[in-house]
Amino acid sequence: MKKFVSIFLAACAMSAMSVTAFARQADAVNVMSDESLKLSFGEETFEQLIQPGQSYTYPLYLEQEDGKLVPLTDEHLEDLRLRAETKNGRSVLSSFEVEKEGDRYQLEVTAQAGWPTAQTEVEGTVKAVKRSNGKAVGSVQAEMTVGYPTIPDEALADVEDGGSVFVAADAPVITTKQFEQLDKAADGGKVTFTNGLWSYQVRVSGQESLNLLHNERAIKEVSSKFEDQNFKYISFPGGPAFDFTGTMTIDLSEEMEDFDGQFYVYRYLQGRLHQLDATVDLDAQTLSFQTKNLGRFVITDKAIADGTLVDESFAGTQQAPSENTNQNNQSSQSGSQNDGQNGSYAENQDYQAGGAEKGNPDTGAEDYLALAAAAAVVSALAASIISQKR
**Residues 222-257: tens digit of each pLDDT:** 999 999 999 999 999 999 999 999 999 999 999 999
What is the band of 313 on the pLDDT scale with cuts at 50, 70, 90? Answer: confident
Instruction: Look at residue 217 in the predicted model and tell me its pLDDT.
Output: 97
Higher per-residue confidence, 345 vs 67 = 67
Instruction: Look at residue 323 in the predicted model and tell me its pLDDT.
Output: 54
Higher per-residue confidence, 30 vs 58 = 58
Higher per-residue confidence, 375 vs 115 = 115
The answer on pLDDT for 24 being more than 70 is no
The answer on pLDDT for 10 being more than 80 is no
- In 10 A of CB 333, how many CB atoms? 19
Instruction: Look at residue 6 in the predicted model and tell me its pLDDT.
Output: 52
CA atoms within 13 Å, Cβ hemisphere of 112? 19
The answer on pLDDT for 348 being more than 50 is no
CB neighbour burial string for 118-153, b if at least 16 within 10 angstroms, e if fewer: bbbebbbbbbbbeeeeeeebbbbebebebbbebbee
Radius of gyration of the chain (CA): 34
What SS3 class is residue 255?
A: coil
- Amino acid (one-letter) located at 187: D
Q: How far apart are CA 192 and CA 36, in angstroms?
A: 59
Q: Comparing C-alpha atoms, which of 230, 304, 228 is closest to residue 273?
A: 304
Query: How many angstroms from the chain centroid is the CA of residue 141?
Result: 16
What is the band of 325 on the pLDDT scale with cuts at 50, 70, 90? Answer: very low
Instruction: Look at residue 244 in the predicted model and tell me its pLDDT.
Output: 98
Higher per-residue confidence, 322 vs 155 = 155
- Say if residues 172 and 214 touch (Cβ distance below 8 Å): yes
What is the band of 316 on the pLDDT scale with cuts at 50, 70, 90? Answer: confident
The answer on pLDDT for 28 being more than 90 is no
Mean pLDDT of 92-116: 97
Higher per-residue confidence, 356 vs 283 = 283
Q: How far apart are CA 193 and CA 226, in angstroms?
A: 31
- Amino acid (one-letter) located at 9: L
- In 10 A of CB 371, how many CB atoms? 14
What digits encode the pLDDT tens for the residues 69-91? Answer: 999 999 999 899 999 999 999 99
What is the band of 358 on the pLDDT scale with cuts at 50, 70, 90? Answer: very low
- Say if residues 317 and 270 touch (Cβ distance below 8 Å): yes
- Say if residues 94 and 111 touch (Cβ distance below 8 Å): yes
Instruction: Look at residue 385 in the predicted model and tell me its pLDDT.
Output: 44
Instruction: Look at residue 320 in the predicted model and tell me its pLDDT.
Output: 56
Higher per-residue confidence, 314 vs 302 = 302
Q: DSSP character for 301?
A: S
- Say if residues 104 and 59 touch (Cβ distance below 8 Å): yes
Q: Comparing C-alpha atoms, which of 310, 115, 113, 110 is closest to residue 214?
A: 115
The Cα-based distances of 53 to 117, 126, 169, 211, 343 in angstroms read: 14, 22, 15, 15, 20
What digits encode the pLDDT tens for the residues 256-267? Answer: 999 999 999 999
Instruction: Look at residue 40 in the predicted model and tell me its pLDDT.
Output: 96
What digits encode the pLDDT tens for the residues 372-385? Answer: 444 444 444 444 44
Query: Would you say how long the chain is, in residues?
Result: 390
Instruction: Provide, rounded to the nearest whole percent, the portion of the chain with pLDDT above 90.
Output: 69
The answer on pLDDT for 147 being more than 60 is yes
Q: What is the mean pLDDT of the chain?
A: 80
Q: How far apart are CA 346 and CA 199, in angstroms?
A: 46
What is the band of 315 on the pLDDT scale with cuts at 50, 70, 90? Answer: confident
The whole-model pTM stands at 0.71
The answer on pLDDT for 3 being more than 70 is no
The answer on pLDDT for 112 being more than 50 is yes
The answer for residues whose C-beta is within 8 angstroms of residue 135's C-beta and 6 or more apart is 33, 129
